[in-house]
Every structure is written in C-alpha cells, then in structure tokens.
Amino acid sequence: MSPPLTLGLDADDTLWENQARFDFAQGNLRDLLSPWVDGEVVDETLLNIERNNVKLYGYGVKSFTLSSIQAAVELTKGEMTADLTTAIIESGWGIIEHPVEILPEVAETLEILSDCYQLLLITKGDPTDQYKKISASGLSDYFEGIEVVREKDPNTYLELLVRHNVDIKDFVMVGNSVPSDVLPVLSIEGRAIHIPHHSTWGHEQVDESVVESLTFPVVDSFSQLPDILADLPKS
C-alpha cells in the first residue's frame, strides 16, 4: 500500500481572507492621496515601489506600510504631512488588528481532510503577521506542521518535504496563487490544486501563456477538496 498523501495548504486567501485587508488599506491610500493624484496612479506607483522593496523588505504589513509611505512622499511632491504619515501607519495597524476571517467551509473541510491526510500549512510572508493569524484562526490543531517560508520556490518546497520526510510523489499543494502554490510544485513533479480567490495581489498575477501548457485541477470552493483528492490519479 502506498503511503497516505500529504497536503500542503496555503493560508492567506486559501484558508482566510488576506488580500481584501490590503485592498482596503490601499483604498485608504487612494483616498488620502486623492487631492494630488488619481487612484490608478497610486496603484501603479505603489506596485512599482513594492516590487523594488520585496528584495529589501520581504512581504507583509510592515513592507506594505513602508512602501505606502514612500509612494505618498513621491506622489505628494514635497507636501507630505505628519497627519498623512500617521494615517498610513494606522491603516497598516488596521490590517494587523483585523480579526481573522476564515473562508466559507474551510473549518469543516479541514476536519474531514485531517482524518485522511497529513496536513502541512505552508505560507510565505512576514512570520510576525503569519503566526498571529495562525494562532487567532483556531485552525492550527489540524496541521502536523506549520511552515512560514520566505519564498515559495521549488527549492523551498524540496527542502521542507525532506524535513518532513515526505516524498514529492506523495505531496499535493493546495492554494490560491498559481506562481506560489502551483507552478513551483509542478516544476519538481509534485501535484497542485488551484482554488482561485476573488482578489489577487498584482505581484502574484501570472502570464496566462505560462499556464496554458499545464494541466492542474482548479476548484471553485474549498469544500470540493475531499472529492477532488479522492479522484486524483495515482502519481
């Protein structure tokens, strides 16, 4: 008999709302900067700054807040005020302090999945943010391992599977991000299931042509996972 499957589950926007919190804060930033520039200019400037800053700062709320302050300095052309700075910092606190909002049917489905599979929570980002949310979610007992990684690249997956003594053939990753949860796992000959979320960060969007040549299951809802996994062909 082959060993049971291990499921890797992404957290942000797979188990709970995340991008919506950042979108809300970014909406605040657009409002705050509306005396100077249009919303689209704010979005574009912020995304460029965030892309540059990922190398220095990594992901997460602190990185987003610092990038937002930089965008405001740039777009207000010397008219940055103390009140504006404080409003941006407080908008970041709003992301951190917002209660964790578990996505529909996630808790019930994890209960079912944890009976049949070994579950690993695999999330990237700022560990201070991530552990706060994991702890507040009340879901951590379903997981046999929790991994907060810097980047979800093929090596990261290989390394953590070695540590958990899981063969890549027995591993299926589940998440909302094609570049982070699907492509790197397929590239090391693992399997992945995509659960799209209504809102995706610009930095995580993927060139459609890359995906066209690949086949992986795409499901609408977390509750479909037990059936999809039961029907998955043997690796």
Of 190-229, which residues contact its own copies (CB under 8 A)?
Answer: none
Sign of the CA dihedral running 154, 156, 159, 161: negative
Q: Per CB under 8 A, which region of 92-100, 135-143, 212-220, 226-234 contacts its own copies?
A: 92-100
Nearer to its own copies, 1 or 56 (CB): 56
Tokens standing for 35? 């005396």
58 binds its own copies (CB under 8 A): yes
Q: Please, what is the minimum distance in Å from the beta carbon of residue 32 to its own copies?
A: 14
**Complex with its own copies: residue 131 or 216, whichever CB lies closer:** 131
How many residues make contact with its own copies (CB under 8 A)? 30
| Sheet with 171-175, side-by-side order of all strands | 145-149, 118-124, 6-9, 171-175, 191-194
- Determine contact, residues 164/145, Cβ cutoff 8 Å: yes
Please, are residues 34 and 58 in contact by the beta-carbon 8 Å criterion? no
- Report how far residue 146's alpha carbon sits from residue 144's, in angstroms, rounded to the nearest whole number: 7
Write out 30-66 in H/E/C secondary structure.
HHHHCCCCCHHHHHHHHHHHHHHHHHHHCCCHHHHHH
Regarding 62 and contact with its own copies (CB under 8 A), the answer is yes
51 binds its own copies (CB under 8 A): no
For residue 111, the one-letter residue type is E
Q: Does residue 73 interact with its own copies by CB under 8 A?
A: yes
- Distance in angstroms between the alpha carbons of the first and the last residue of the chain: 13
Say whether residue 36 binds its own copies (CB under 8 A): no
Which span sits near its own copies by CB under 8 A: 29-37, 60-68, 176-184, 211-219?
A: 60-68
x/- track of binding to its own copies for residues 105-144 (CB under 8 A): ---------------------xxx--x-------------
Q: What does each C-alpha distance from 141 to 118, 125, 134, 173 come to in angstroms?
A: 12, 21, 10, 19
For residue 82, state whether it binds its own copies (rule: CB under 8 A).
yes
Residues within the interface to its own copies (CB under 8 A): 56-58, 62-63, 65-66, 69-70, 73, 76, 78-83, 85-86, 89, 92-93, 96-97, 126-128, 131, 148, 150
